[in-house]
Amino acid sequence: MSKLSNLHAFRRPLGVLALIAADAVGLLFGLAVAAYLVRGGLFVEDVLLFGPILLAVWIAIFAAHDLYDRAHKRRKAGGLLAAIFWGAGLLTFGSIVYPQANFKLPETLLAGTLVFLVCGGFRFLYEGAIDRIYSRGMGRAPAVLVGEERSRSRVRKTLETVPSAYQCVGEVDLDDGGLDLGLLRKTLDRTGARNVILAGAEHLEDDELLELLHSMRLRKVQIKVLPGIITLMGAKPVLFEDAGLPLLEVDYPQLDNTQRALKRLLDVAGSSFGLLVFSPLLLTVAVLIKLTSPGPVFFKQKRVGADGEVFLCYKFRSMYQDAERRQAELEAKNEADGAVFKMKDDPRVTRVGKFIRRWSIDELPQLINVLLGEMSLVGPRPLPVRDFERMTERHKMRLAAIPGVSGYWQISGRSDLSFEDMVRLDLYYIENWSLWLDIAIILKTVHAVLRHEGAY
């Protein structure tokens, strides 16, 4: 990832934290001043007792109104006012249900007004500072321009001459054959950009646009669309961002977002719980690996994940340190068909490695990948780059989902199955995915591990 991308990735969380801190200060300040003016005294006990709950609820309300998303900068005054009304309403309702809170209507209304002034004033100063930073060409998000040459040229000149949140770091042409999605992926990997500005979406077929949206969703890349003149003539369809251009922010298809959000919640909760519960086992295995063979405790390998993105997959080292170099010598003894490499009695496996492989303990560090969002608890198995390069386009269809620690293949025989069977099962999982299917696979994984099915 480029230095520019790193700078933007570092600045954005700091900006969000600054806004959250300012909102917290504004809320406590507003409540304290309102209580002093209405009651004639401060309410330190109430703040200490209910402050953390109030802060959590109000920050959640602010987040629900997109007040921490810079894409909605131009709507923040209305969003801030709406969020404060919601917060004041919940506070008033809470005081009725729970009288001990002792927040009266007059001081709640006064506090809301003060919160609006303090938070709104800070946002005004914050946005002004950000605009000055952008005007000096600093802290801008790297973006890839997609479109015909004429459209890209117009966008590029605007980004260069007007204070903008984006900086062009790469371009992909829209020719007569449509969008070269493979080239766009390579450009995003090379530049580290996490934003795409699409000029000329009307030239894409529906299937092409949906494939683009799905691909960028898997990569967590935001898409901004430059609307045509007909769209601009309509009333209020355009979201004006600080890019010097009128851009539409394209949301991903909402058909299964709730289930996918629950899937991510399951991943975070499950991986956190697993790392905590298995921490004694993880520490013991780490010590055994270190004492019985030279080399690092963890084996970090580049693997291909969703949409062809490469990431570092973590496992306990179960082989000797020179295992990858020796694989070329063993290719002729490969017992698996297709693109993968498997040997039942692999001479590169250590004594400890045989044990942890038999019980699938070597896979536990991948819970770190799950926590980072690079993997899921359930999904197609991520394959090494070596295997990926030998796959056909049909096989690569299994990359249409986030890879998993476990999956349909793992509970159906694992290494005892052929490569084609693995692909077939992965494609079935993708086409029939549901949260309940994930839960069923997790439960069956425990059974498969205890029976050592296909583990070697």
Which has more confidence, 327 or 101? 327
Are 417 and 410 in contact, with CB atoms under 8 Å apart? Answer: no
The pLDDT confidence band at residue 36, using thresholds 50, 70 and 90, is: confident
Domain termination site, one of 231, 250, 269: 250
Query: What pLDDT is stored for residue 71 in this prediction?
Result: 44
List the beta strands (DSSP E) in 205-297: 222-226, 239-240, 246-250
Q: Clarify whether residues 48 and 72 are in a common domain.
A: yes
Taking residues 313-328, report their average pLDDT.
Answer: 85
Q: Clarify whether residues 124 and 152 are in a common domain.
A: no
Query: What pLDDT is stored for residue 280 in this prediction?
Result: 92
Q: Clarify whether residues 421 and 283 are in a common domain.
A: yes
456 located within any domain: no
342-386: pLDDT as tens digits? 777 788 899 999 999 888 899 999 999 999 889 999 999 998 888
296 located within any domain: yes
Highest mean pLDDT out of 140-144, 260-264, 305-309, 431-435: 305-309
SS3 (DSSP) at 239: strand
Residue range of the domain that includes 242: 141-250
Query: What pLDDT is stored for residue 380 in this prediction?
Result: 93
318 located within any domain: yes
Are 448 and 410 in contact, with CB atoms under 8 Å apart? Answer: yes
Q: Clarify whether residues 265 and 406 are in a common domain.
A: yes
For helices 257-277 and 279-292, the axis angle rounded to 10 degrees is: 60
Total domain count for the chain? Answer: 3
Q: Clarify whether residues 152 and 90 are in a common domain.
A: no
DSSP readout, 145-199? EEE-HHHHHHHHHHHHHS--SEEEEEEEEEETTEE-HHHHHHHHHHH---EEEEE
Q: Clarify whether residues 88 and 43 are in a common domain.
A: yes
Q: Clarify whether residues 126 and 187 are in a common domain.
A: no
- The candidate with the shortest Cα–Cα distance to 80, out of 51, 52, 121, is 121
Q: Clarify whether residues 193 and 306 are in a common domain.
A: no
Are 174 and 212 in contact, with CB atoms under 8 Å apart? Answer: no
Residue 411 zone, left/alpha/beta (φ > 0; ψ -120 to 50; rest): alpha
396 located within any domain: yes
42-89: pLDDT as tens digits? 555 555 566 677 777 777 787 777 677 654 444 456 777 777 877 777
> What does the alpha-carbon distance between residue 72 and residue 79 come to, in Å, rounded to a whole number?
9
For helices 279-292 and 351-358, the axis angle rounded to 10 degrees is: 150
Highest mean pLDDT out of 82-96, 127-141, 147-161: 147-161
171-211: pLDDT as tens digits? 999 876 688 898 999 999 898 888 999 987 777 887 888 88
292 located within any domain: yes
Q: Which two tokens stand for residue 135?
A: 């005007």
Buried b / exposed e over 230-255, threshold 16 CB at 10 Å, is eeeeeeeeebebbbbbebbebeeeee
85 located within any domain: yes
188 located within any domain: yes
